[in-house]
């Protein structure tokens, strides 16, 4: 777990970081697993059209060694593209490692696929 | 043109019955219509939650099948041919709707079942009753094991639990129903499947299977929906929402609940047992009041059982007032040293403080308004003191754009818990309640709800000072 869909939604939320400054988190020292996921076109489309941060997804996939996505966000959503999106968003799992805030450098550890997004006492506003 | 059906319900959680029917009807986009009047039935006995049989009107048999497919409380559904207080009434109504059953007359294999709710009918009388329907002139083969159609006659007697002293000794026949079995309740078997005792991972606050399933139905879970539990705990509602096809995201301030003690997270072990592991999108450790989600308008539903403090108190990041001594202040004044101390430690757990229930509930509704998509639902349990509860208690937690669609109590005597379903009725986007300063907009703060300081009241056994 820590699929790229989740990575695409998590921003550093420490004091003085914002949803733009503290995003996207950078992967470091990761162990990645690929697991088959359930394909649901509506789910993917809705996420792609409404919520995705394309550059963050492309960047994160690249950090994990997947360069299958086009750099430019495609306008046309066809079946082939949805399959690609499905794989990158849902089938790549980061099981161990870290996510580092680009702004404050807070290190969010990932253990057994669960990221620890808790803030330390001095980081809460 | 509607068709009349008889629904036979499990006699549990009576207040959850109607919300469940309405939720599943909304999910599939049809209506469950309450008959305006029924022959031989007084108006207030129509859809009486303490009786096992309800007569409903539907536009299509497919709707009956959809209800039986998803409603946990439905045992079976019949196409209703006749009902009343006497067999004469039942026979004449059945004859009057011959167009409904005539197509089974010639070569449909069938069986007749005569049975009673809360009583037994002797074989000899069962046979008499079957014979009394001879006027239907069914000519197909009688097949007791695997018939094409099953015709059922129910005699309803008062439920033992609701009997009064006057009833003692004699069992009064309340009503007779006759119809054709359309389908048995398919979802009811899930109560066994999700039995907590048979689950490979659970905790002492895991929600019982039947309620977890009812909660999942209140969320309108279905394939492709995205559902969030901000107090994930051991994941009880995640399994049932995922069972209905939804993708589930969970978080908890205490990762140990989600992990358990094994090598892989306990929640994933149980999800694998149920065959829903691929639908658990992710589990994250964070305090929902300090959450890292970068945007709202994200989820189709939020379902949760907030820790209300009897076995596990709610916590949020921060320090109790009493701890805020000078030493702490000094340490906080030196953040670099603190950073070294904290991030270097593998299992650093920041200090937490109690999260009072009525604050939590208010925050939860506002958080849901931020995180839900329009028409999304927030489904959660609210514990409350039975004697002190007032309808306004729930209203104090509401905010504009969020409306209560169901409120069902599970009664434990002097306390109870209410399953509240709130719908986001606005298309407007709202910010997170935990940013840009809390709005204390309305006067609802002035009302003190009965669930405030629930934990303290519970341990005082609900005695007034």
Q: A122–B348: do the CB atoms touch at under 8 Å?
A: no
Instruction: Give me the DSSP letters along B8-39.
Output: EEPSS-GGGHHHHHHHHHHHHT---BPPS-BT
B293 touches chain A (CB under 8 A): yes
How far, in Å, CA of B183 to CA of B92, rounded? Answer: 25
At B138 the three-state DSSP class reads coil
Tell me: pLDDT of A35 over 90: yes
Nearest-Cα distance to chain A for B68, in Å, is: 25
B307 and B322 in a common domain: no
Helical pair B61-70 and B17-28, crossing angle rounded to 10 deg = 120
**What count of other Cβ atoms lies within 10 Å of the Cβ of residue B92?**
12
At B110 the three-state DSSP class reads strand
B231 and B331 in a common domain: no
Query: Among candidates B437, B440, B461, B311, which has minimal Cα distance to B386?
Result: B461
Q: Searching chain A, which residue's CA lies closest to the CA of residue B266?
A: A112
CATH code at position B17: 3.30.2130.30
Question: Of the candidates A6, A53, A119, which has its C-beta nearest B290's C-beta?
Answer: A119
Q: What is the pLDDT of residues A55-65, one digit of tens each?
A: 999 999 999 99
How far, in Å, CA of B141 to CA of B138, rounded? Answer: 9
Residue reference for tokens 């691929």: B278
How far, in Å, CA of A10 to CA of B225, rounded? Answer: 19
B268 touches chain A (CB under 8 A): yes
Nearest-Cα distance to chain A for B379, in Å, is: 21
Q: A6–B255: do the CB atoms touch at under 8 Å?
A: no
At B322 the three-state DSSP class reads helix
Q: In this structure, are residues B232 and B267 in contact, taking their beta carbons and an 8 Å threshold?
A: yes
B266 and B410 in a common domain: yes
Residue B62 is predicted with a pLDDT of: 98
Quick check: is B464 in a domain? no
How far, in Å, CA of B317 to CA of A123, rounded? Answer: 11
Residue A83 is predicted with a pLDDT of: 97
Strands (E), B144-246: 149-156, 175-184, 226-229
Residues of B in contact with A16 (CB under 8 A): none
B224 touches chain A (CB under 8 A): yes
Nearest-Cα distance to chain A for B339, in Å, is: 8
B81 and B21 in a common domain: yes
Paired tokens of B178: 């006759």
Residue B263 is predicted with a pLDDT of: 83
CA distances from A44 to A40, A97, B191, B276 (A): 6, 26, 31, 18
B264 and B226 in a common domain: yes
Residue B332 is predicted with a pLDDT of: 60
Tally the domains of chain B.
3
Nearest-Cα distance to chain A for B278, in Å, is: 5
β-strands B247-252, B280-285: how paired? parallel
Phi, psi of B386 (to 5 degrees): -55, -50
CA atoms within 13 A on the CB side of B348: 20
Q: B351–A121: do the CB atoms touch at under 8 Å?
A: yes
Query: Among candidates A31, A42, A40, A28, which has minimal Cα distance to A107?
Result: A28
Name residues of chain B where pLDDT drops below 70.
Answer: 162-169, 309-313, 320-349, 436-446, 464-465
B74 and B160 in a common domain: yes
Residue B330 is predicted with a pLDDT of: 59
Residue B327 is predicted with a pLDDT of: 55
How far, in Å, CA of B41 to CA of B47, rounded? Answer: 11
How far, in Å, CA of B389 to CA of B383, rounded? Answer: 10
How far, in Å, CA of A55 to CA of B264, rounded? Answer: 31
Residues of B in contact with A97 (CB under 8 A): none
Query: Among candidates B348, B407, B349, B354, which has minimal Cα distance to B378?
Result: B407
B444 and B405 in a common domain: yes
Residues of B in contact with A124 (CB under 8 A): 290, 317-318
Residue B249 is predicted with a pLDDT of: 98
**What count of other Cβ atoms lies within 10 Å of the Cβ of residue B429?**
12
CA distances from B226 to A29, B368, B371 (A): 30, 13, 11
How far, in Å, CA of A80 to CA of B17, rounded? Answer: 44
Q: B281–A50: do the CB atoms touch at under 8 Å?
A: no
Give B150's contacts (C-beta < 8 A, 6+ positions apart): B110, B111, B112, B113, B180, B181
CATH code at position B453: 3.40.50.150
Nearest-Cα distance to chain A for B241, in Å, is: 15
Residue B241 is predicted with a pLDDT of: 98
Architecture of the domain whose range is A4-117: Single Sheet (2.20)
Q: What is the pLDDT of residues A86-106, one digit of tens each?
A: 999 999 999 999 999 999 999
Q: What is the ipTM of this complex?
A: 0.96
Sign of the C-alpha dihedral computed for residues B290, B293, B298 and B301 taken in this order: negative
B329 and B260 in a common domain: no
Residue B443 is predicted with a pLDDT of: 47
B134 and B116 in a common domain: yes
Residue B333 is predicted with a pLDDT of: 61
Question: Of the candidates A11, A42, A118, which has its C-beta nearest B294's C-beta?
Answer: A11
B93 and B116 in a common domain: yes
Quick check: is B195 in a domain? no
Per-domain boundaries in chain A: 4-117
B390 and B376 in a common domain: yes
SS (H, E, C) chain A: CCEHHHHCCECCCCCCCCCCCCCCCEEEEEEEEECCCCCCHHHHHHHHHHCCCHHHHHHHHHHCCCCCCCCCCCCCCCHHHHHHHHHHHHHEEEEEEEEECCCCCCEEEEECCEEECCCCHHHCC
End position of a domain, from candidates B189, B210, B225: B189
Q: B346–A120: do the CB atoms touch at under 8 Å?
A: no
At B213 the three-state DSSP class reads helix
Q: Which letter does DSSP use for residue B208 in this model?
A: P
Q: A9–B293: do the CB atoms touch at under 8 Å?
A: yes
Residue reference for tokens 């690609």: A84
B329 and B228 in a common domain: no
**Domain range holding B124?**
3-189
Question: Of the candidates B280, B291, B343, which has its C-beta nearest A13's C-beta?
Answer: B291
Residue reference for tokens 């690249």: A62
């Amino acid at each position: 777990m820590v699929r790229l869909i989740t990575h695409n939604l998590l921003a550093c939320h420490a004091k003085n970081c914002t949803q733009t400054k503290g995003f996207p988190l950078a992967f470091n020292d990761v162990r990645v697993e690929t697991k088959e996921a359930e394909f649901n076109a509506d789910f993917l489309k809705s996420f792609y059209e409404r919520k995705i941060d394309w550059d963050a997804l492309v960047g994160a996939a690249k950090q994990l060694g997947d360069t299958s996505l086009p750099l430019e966000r495609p306008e046309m959503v066809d079946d082939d593209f949805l399959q690609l999106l499905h794989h990158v968003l849902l089938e790549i799992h980061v099981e161990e490692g870290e996510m580092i805030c680009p702004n404050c450098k807070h290190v969010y550890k990932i253990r057994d696929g669960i990221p620890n997004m808790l803030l330390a006492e001095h980081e809460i506003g | 043109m509607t068709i009349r059906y008889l629904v036979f319900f499990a006699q549990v959680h009576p207040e959850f019955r109607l919300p469940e029917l309405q939720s599943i009807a909304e999910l599939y986009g049809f209506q469950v219509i309450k008959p305006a009047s029924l022959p031989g039935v007084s108006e207030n006995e129509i859809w009486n939650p303490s009786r096992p049989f309800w007569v409903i009107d539907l536009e299509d048999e497919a709707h009956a099948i959809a209800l039986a497919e998803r409603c946990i409380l439905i045992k079976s559904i019949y196409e209703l041919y006749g009902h009343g207080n006497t067999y004469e009434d039942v026979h004449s109504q059945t004859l009057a709707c011959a167009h409904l059953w005539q197509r089974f007359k010639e070569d449909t294999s069938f069986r007749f079942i005569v049975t009673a709710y809360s009583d037994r009918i002797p074989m000899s009388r069962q046979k008499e009753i079957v014979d009394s329907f001879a006027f239907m002139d069914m000519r197909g083969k009688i097949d007791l094991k695997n018939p094409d159609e099953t015709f059922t006659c129910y005699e309803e007697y008062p439920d033992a639990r609701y009997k009064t002293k006057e009833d003692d000794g004699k069992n009064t026949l309340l009503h007779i129903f006759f119809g054709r079995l359309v389908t048995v309740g398919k979802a009811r078997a899930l109560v066994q499947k999700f039995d907590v005792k048979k689950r490979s991972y659970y905790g002492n606050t895991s929600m019982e299977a039947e309620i977890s399933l009812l909660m999942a139905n209140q969320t309108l879970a279905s394939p492709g929906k995205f559902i969030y539990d901000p107090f994930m705990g051991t994941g009880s509602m995640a399994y049932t929402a995922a069972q209905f096809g939804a993708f589930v995201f969970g978080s908890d301030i205490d990762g140990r609940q989600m992990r358990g003690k094994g090598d892989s997270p306990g929640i994933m072990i149980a999800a694998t047992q149920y065959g829903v592991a691929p639908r658990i999108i992710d589990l994250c450790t964070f305090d929902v009041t300090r959450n890292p989600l970068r945007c709202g308008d994200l989820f189709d539903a939020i379902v949760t059982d907030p820790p209300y403090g009897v076995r596990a108190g709610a916590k949020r990041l921060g320090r109790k007032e009493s701890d805020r001594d000078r030493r702490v202040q000094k340490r906080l004044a030196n953040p670099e040293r603190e950073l070294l101390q904290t991030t270097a430690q593998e299992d650093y757990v920041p200090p937490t403080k109690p999260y009072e229930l009525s604050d939590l509930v208010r925050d939860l509704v506002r958080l849901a308004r931020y995180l839900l998509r329009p028409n999304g639902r927030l489904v959660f349990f609210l514990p409350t003191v039975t004697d002190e509860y007032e309808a306004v208690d729930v209203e104090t937690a509401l905010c504009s754009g969020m409306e209560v669609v169901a409120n069902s109590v599970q009664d434990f005597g002097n306390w109870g818990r209410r399953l509240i379903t709130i719908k986001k009725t606005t298309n407007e986007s709202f910010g997170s309640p935990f940013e840009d300063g809390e709005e204390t907009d309305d006067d609802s703060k002035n009302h003190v709800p009965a669930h405030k300081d629930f934990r303290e009241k519970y341990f005082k056994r609900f005695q007034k000072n």
